[in-house]
Amino acid sequence: MGHLAVTTGVTRVDGVRLHYVRAGSGPLLVLLHGWPQTSLCWRPVLAELAADYTVVAPDLRGYGLSDKPVSGYDKRRMAADMAHLVEALGFERAAVVGHDRGARVAHRWALDRPDQVERLALLDVVPTREMFRRLDASVASGYWHWLFHLQPDLPERLVGHDVRGYLEYFYERWTYNRHGLAPEAVDAYVEAFSRPGALRAGFDDYRAQEQDLALDDADYAAGRRLAMPVLALWGSVGLPARLPALEIWRAYAEDVSGAEIPECGHFIAEERPEALVEHLRGFLAGETIR
């Protein structure tokens, strides 16, 4: 990352110590990672984005170097973590980019605190509610891990014997540009999920599904949609590419633009960092993709 000054910090929020990295100056841009990763996934785009923004990339509750409590993995609580982190850092508003599970936290954050989330970019997901509404054989075969991770206790027992083998299955199956996930990054992810409590916390993120869906259903029934500008991006290889992703998001947000990133799998920031930065720069500057 050249001479980019990257600092690390820890802030206690809701009794949980949240670890984050920070770089740059200017308006706040928060980057939220997914499973099975940590804030490290943003390293390929950090320098470019930090040229114009104060970029903060936290490890979500239960992930990376953040604490791994035994509760609080519903998206409302995880989103509140982020809201309070922003306030603790001295900012009133933020643009937010979320990938995978981080996008689900970001979606809930923007619904619960529209005063705080100025613009929202969601990477390689469709809403949680839509995932389960569309749970046919194709979706189930592509996202079988959701159903596995929901089971109590069993995933920890089976995966714990070979954390690397399990995670590397996803790094290979979900990528187009496999070289984008550098060996040292994979090693760091394996180390992170090998720490005490880390597997359980990651699976608890999925196990909060019942609470998350109840909130999503209530918002949808009330006609509550995202009001801020939303950007949906997805890789050309993966489930969102097989769904009408943009059309789906337009049922949940008032102002949606989006694009498919060609020759890209699930891990967009690492597989196609230049393309991601280009899309984000335009979106964050107020340009629209149609």
* Interval 235-290: pLDDT, tens: 999 889 989 999 999 999 999 999 999 999 999 999 999 999 999 999 999 875 54
Q: Which residue has the higher pLDDT, 166 or 143?
A: 166
Where is average pLDDT lowest: 6-10, 129-133, 136-140? 136-140
C-alpha of 258 from chain center: 17
- Identify whether 112 is a catalytic site residue: no
- Specify the pTM: 0.97
- For residue 288, what pLDDT is reported? 59
- Identify whether 100 is a catalytic site residue: yes
**Mutual angle of helices 163-173 and 183-193, in 10-degree steps:** 130
Give the active site residue among 33, 107, 266, 279.
266
Q: What pLDDT digit, counting tens, does each position of 213-227 carry?
A: 999 999 999 999 999
Which pair of structure tokens corresponds to residue 274? 């230049």
3-state helix, strand, coil in the chain (%, to 5): 45, 20, 35
CATH number assigned to the domain covering 6-284: 3.40.50.1820
Give the active site residue among 100, 124, 212, 219.
100
- For residue 55, what pLDDT is reported? 98
Distances (CA, A) of 42 to 52, 68, 69, 98, 109: 16, 21, 24, 11, 20
Q: Which sequence spans correspond to the domains of the chain?
A: 6-284
179: exposed, middle or buried (Cβ count in 10 Å: 0-12, 13-18, 19+): exposed
Are 13 and 66 contacting, i.e. CB atoms less than 8 angstroms apart?
no
- For residue 1, what pLDDT is reported? 44
Distances (CA, A) of 156 to 33, 76, 82, 170: 21, 24, 27, 16
